Structure 1
Amino acid sequence: MPRTPSAPAGAAEAAADGILGGHRDRGSAPPPRTAEEAVATARAYAESVSDGVIERDRAGNAPVAELARLDASGLLAITVPRSLGGPELGAAALAEVIRTIAAVDPAIAQVPQGHFLFCDVLAVWGTARQQRALFGEVLGGARFGNGLAERGGLHGQDLRTRLHGFPDGGGSGPHLTGRKYYTTGSLTARWIGVSALDDVGRLVLAFVRRDAPGVHVGDDWNVMGQRATVSGTATFEDVPADPGLVVRYARAFEVPQQLGARAQLVHAAIQTGIAGGALRDASEFVRTRARPFFEAATAGWAHTAGEDPHTIYRYGQLATKVRAAEALLASAAATLEEIGRVPADPAAAARGSLAVAQAKAFASDVAAEVTTDLFSLSGASATDEKYDLSRHWRNARTHASHDPVAWKYHHVGNFMLNDVLPPNHGQL
């Protein structure tokens, strides 16, 4: 991205107009226009990447080709506002798209989580020029990578990354310096949204090109699950930032908002997808590979593993819990659709946040239970590494570690018992 010279207020925002947005990459599809089309596209995409899921899990490398197909599918533009050329599909469509992909490969499903968050930020808090420029990029097949989290501070929001030369400018214009971790999707993204503090200590979100001078994204992601997210370290060494592409992000947390709830809805969909995918694979293994326990067989109760009465009972329990997780996810998404991107008041923000908290917490518990009991249903042969069935548990546990389920149940209980609203105007 060309370096933008220092400019006074007003002219700084005009710098965003210099971005060439709106073109569609060769081979990129237009976004689906309805929820039904979006889910059908997600199913086709998930099917196209299903054969390589075990290899991707074992290798832990960035799934470059698979993510290029995701970028070209049009799915990343489904939440772009209609006024800016997108279909502006709601939370229900987004949740079902993510759940569908996560049931096949939750690592790939997690890659655009930050992307959809940034689309919401731009839709609510972006200037008209920022919206035209960056949504034009998204409609053209671009994806936003995540540059939010850091290591080493007192807590996850203790930021050390700085945007120097903003908001007042000076010198050669704003420059970004810092180090991020858990940078899901950034290795293969076109743009990275980077949170930082400006010269007066206010939270901002700067959008910089992945290939900008001074941006370095590594592959030091060595964890037990969600390996293909490659959510390692990104460093920003005096990166020139376009002042017209800096969102004054602090404002979002000073009023009732649904950014956190909508971001968490994607996480809830990933956990729900993991649970459904594990149940599907358990069913396949029981029906095609497992043997009945000898007591059931010798008693004449079961000629196949699927006829074992204990297996039938436990599978029925797990299937019911997965269905409940799916229903709770759909209910939370419907609540967010009713509230909209901008809640009317703190009570509405709390309602959306708590609905998603329940869906996320329950889905995380169910995913952990199904991915564990998969092996008791399927028997010892299911532990053979050639089947890689342990990936379901590893993915569920790794993904759930993002934020404690206990705090979500705490906020739900505290509201219902004591009328205490969630913190940060609805951010959970």
Structure 2
Amino acid sequence: MTTSEPTTAARPGPLLHDSAHVITDEAEALAVAAGLAEAFRPGAAERDAQRRLPHAEVDRLSASGLLGITVPRTHGGADATAGTVAEVFRLLATADTSLAQIPQSHFVFVNVLRSQGSAGQQDFFFHEVLAGRRFGNAQAEAGTPHAQDIRTRVEPDGKGGYVLNGTKNYCTGSLFAHWIPVLARGAGGKPHVAYVPHDAPGVTVIDDWDGMGQRTTASGTVRLENVAVPADRVVPHHLTFQRPQLHGAYAQLMHAAIDSGAARAALSEAAEFVRTKSRPWFESGAATAAEDPLLIQRFGALELRVRATQALLEAAARTVDTATAHLTDDTAAEASLAVAAAKAYAAETAVDTASALFEVAGTRAALNDFNLHRHWRDARTHTLHDPALWKVQHLGRYVLNGTRPPRHGLL
């Protein structure tokens, strides 16, 4: 696979305040998500094949109001539950997993503001979100010993503000973002999140993502060189983990939803291909491939797994919502474990279903003209976000020894 040479990103245009619809009802949010999925689905294969970045589609997502559904009602939003957010992501992923992944960090960093933002920060940024402006992300770093070894620094500038320096990788969403939340170490090595404008001096967003899958997420590099950050744009994220928290469970729930949608997308396209393009095996005696009893049995088994994945996702979302209403060490642990189970199972199902697509659809399905392999490439790439084995490990520790999962942002 080849891509164009890495480029410095063009600046996303500002949105007018009245250019985004404001959704105040969860039923409307689900209807809007379903409508966008139908609109995005027909172009997904071509976008992937040509690596055409979905600028227009992301703008449409902003204008729809979906990006503001978790803003609290006190600030004019819908205050959507985790269940609704998970279903929104699942629906979008049934159309295009790359498009569905782009806003994942946006919702994570709205949640950071809900948890640790000051009243002034919430007033300002929730207004921005309802206006349709997008958050990207600059969290991960390459070349460090492990994922939690963050070298980017946010330090006092001696004038009442801060200065930010570092290099971030896998910055999904930042190419399309108006604001880039940056995870950085502050005083004492404690993690903070600095919200910086996409076009701030010293910020460079580079489109150098070259993954085999999720090709149009533009998960490239963000360089930060002496970026000036006002004090009221820095959030003390380290406080999140000093008490029971749902930061990791909430973030991982959206990843599980994307995997669940990816599995459904692969199975649906496999079924359509078999109905319209596949030939029956001569020994089956069937007039069409869709009447082949072995294929029917295989599709039934795949459907069982996809349905089980969605059921685990819904159960996990309910557990997160329950913990949100009554947050304790026990409810937070149960939410993390429920999401871990959903994510581990969804990841396995997405990859297996996308692979089984070729088994049931036959040789013709492997032709590049159909680009059906994007389902496997996308599922395999997205499910590498963090290791499912560690999610299963924490489930085992809990069921055997009653050990609660640790407080960090990946569980």
What TM-score range do you get, normalising by the shorter chain?
A: over 0.9
3-state DSSP of counterpart to 2:204: strand
Residues 1:308 and 2:292 are matched in the alignment: yes
Question: Take 1:286 and 1:253, find their aligned partners in 2: how far apart are those partners?
Answer: 49
- Are 1:151 and 2:151 an aligned pair? no
- What is the aligned partner in structure 1 of residue 179 from structure 2? 191
- Give the aligned residue type for 1:356: V
Task: Look up the SS of the partner of 1:230 in the other structure.
Answer: coil
- 1:141 is aligned, of 126, 132, 135, to 132
- Give the alignment partner of residue 325 of structure 1, picking from 306, 309, 320: 309
Q: Answer yes or no: is the 8 Å Cα contact 2:253–2:339 preserved in 1.
A: yes
Instruction: Describe the shift of the 1:426–1:146 C-alpha distance in structure 2 as closer, same or farther (beyond 3 A).
Output: closer
Contact 2:134 2:178 (C-alpha < 8 Å) held by counterparts: yes
2:343 aligned to which of 332, 339, 360: 360
User: Shift of the alpha carbon at 1:185?
Assistant: 0.5
**Structure 2 counterpart of 1:336, which letter?**
V
Hey, what's the Cα distance between the residues in 2 that align with 1:105 and 1:179? 29
**Equivalent-residue separation in structure 2 for 1:427 and 1:47 (angstroms):** 31
1:238 aligned onto 2:221: no
Could you tell me how far 1:362 is from its partner in structure 2? 0.6
Select the residue among 372, 379, 396 that pairs with 1:396: 379
Deviation at 1:27, TM superposition (A): 6.2
Distance 2:315 2:389 in 1: 21
Residue 418 of structure 1: how far off its partner (Å): 1.1
How far did 1:401 drift? 0.4
Query: In the aligned structure 1, how far is the partner of 2:179 from the partner of 2:408?
Result: 28
* Secondary structure, counterpart of 2:188 in structure 1: coil
Give the ranges of 4+ consecutive aligned residues of structure 1 lying more than 6 Å apart after TM superposition.
Answer: none
Aligned equivalents of 1:159 and 1:393: distance in 2? 31
Q: Name the CA distance, whole Å, in 2 between partners of 1:75 and 1:173.
A: 33
**Residues 120-131 of structure 1: matches in 2 within 5 Å?**
120-131=111-122
Q: 1:171 Cα shift?
A: 4.2
Question: Is 1:259 matched up with 2:247?
Answer: yes
User: 2:263 aligned with 1:275, yes or no?
Assistant: yes
Give the structure 2 partner of residue 93 of structure 1.
Answer: 84
* One-letter amino acid matched to 1:320: L
Instruction: Specify the SS of the correspondent of 1:39.
Output: helix
Cα offset for 1:426?
Answer: 8.4
Q: CA RMSD in A?
A: 1.5
Aligned mate of 1:337, from 300, 305, 321 = 321
Shift of 1:30: 2.6
Contact 1:77 1:86 in 2 (8 A): yes
| Secondary structure of the corresponding residue to residue 421 of structure 1 | coil
Contact residue 322 and residue 331 of structure 2 kept, 8 A: no
One-letter identity of the residue aligned with 1:372: S
Distance 1:207 1:425, change over 3 A: closer
CA apart distance, 1:274? 0.3
Report the secondary structure of 1:170's partner residue. coil
Conserved 8 A contact 1:346-1:425? no
Residues 283-334 of structure 1 deviation map (CA, whole Å, 9 limit, x = unaligned): 10000000011111xxxx3110011111000000001110111111111111
Deviation of 1:55 (Å): 1.7
- Residue identity matched to 1:422: P
Determine helix, strand or coil for the equivalent of 2:80.
coil
Task: Specify the code of the residue in structure 1 equivalent to 2:70.
Answer: T
**Paired residues of 1:28 and 1:74 also in contact (CA < 8 A):** no
Q: Which amino acid aligns with 2:375?
A: H
- Match of 1:228, SS state, is coil
Answer yes or no: is the 8 Å Cα contact 1:204–1:246 preserved in 2: yes
What amino acid does structure 2 have at the position aligned with 1:100? L
Cα deviations by residue, 1:270-290 (Å, 9 ceiling, x for unpaired): 000000000100010000000
Report Cα offsets for 1:131-168 as digits up to 9, x if no partner. 00111100100110011111111111111111121xxx
Structure 1 CA distance for aligned equivalents of residues 322 and 17 of structure 2: 36
Kept in 2: contact 1:255–1:425 (CA 8 A):
no
d(CA) in 1 for partners of 2:104, 2:90: 12
Counterpart-to-counterpart distance in 2, 1:290 and 1:238: 58
Rounded Cα–Cα distance in structure 2 between residues aligned with 1:54 and 1:279: 15
Larger Rg: 1
How far apart in 2 are the matches of 1:371 and 1:282?
Answer: 9
Structure 1 residues 146, 405: closer, same or farther in 2, change over 3 A?
same
Q: Give the drift of 1:130.
A: 0.4
Take 1:271 and 1:49, find their aligned partners in 2: how far apart are those partners? 17
Q: Which whole-Å CA distance do the structure 1 matches of 2:164 and 2:175 have between them?
A: 18
Residue in structure 1 matched with residue 357 of structure 2 by the alignment: 374
Amino-acid identity (%): 48
CA contact (8 A) 1:215 1:235 kept: yes
Report the Cα distance in structure 2 between the residues aligned to 1:35 and 1:86, rounded to whole angstroms. 10
Shift of residue 24 of structure 1? 7.0
CA distance in 2, matches of 1:427, 1:54: 30
Residue 29 of structure 1 deviates from its aligned partner by 3.5
Confirm or deny: 8 A CA contact 2:163 2:226 kept in the other structure. yes
Partner amino acid, structure 1, of 2:360: L
Which residue of the other structure, out of 393, 398, 410, is the alignment partner of 1:415? Answer: 398
- Taking the aligned partners of 1:426 and 1:47, their CA distance within structure 2 comes to 32
- Asked if the contact 2:135–2:181 (Cα under 8 Å) also holds between the matched residues in 1, the reply is yes
| Structure 1, unpaired ranges of 5+ | 1-22
What is the CA–CA distance in structure 2 between the aligned matches of 1:253 and 1:347, rounded to whole Å? Answer: 15
Partners of 2:87 and 2:77 in 1: how far apart? 18
1:386 to 357, 361, 369: 369
Report deviation, 1:97: 0.5
SS in 1 for 2:194: strand
* 1:65 counterpart residue number: 56
* 8 Å CA contact retained: 1:224, 1:394: yes
- Aligned residues, how many? 398
Q: Take 2:49 and 2:350, find their aligned partners in 1: how far apart are those partners?
A: 21
1:210 matched to which residue of 2?
198
Note the C-alpha offset of 1:62. Answer: 2.5
The one-letter code sitting in structure 2 at the alignment partner of 1:204 is: H
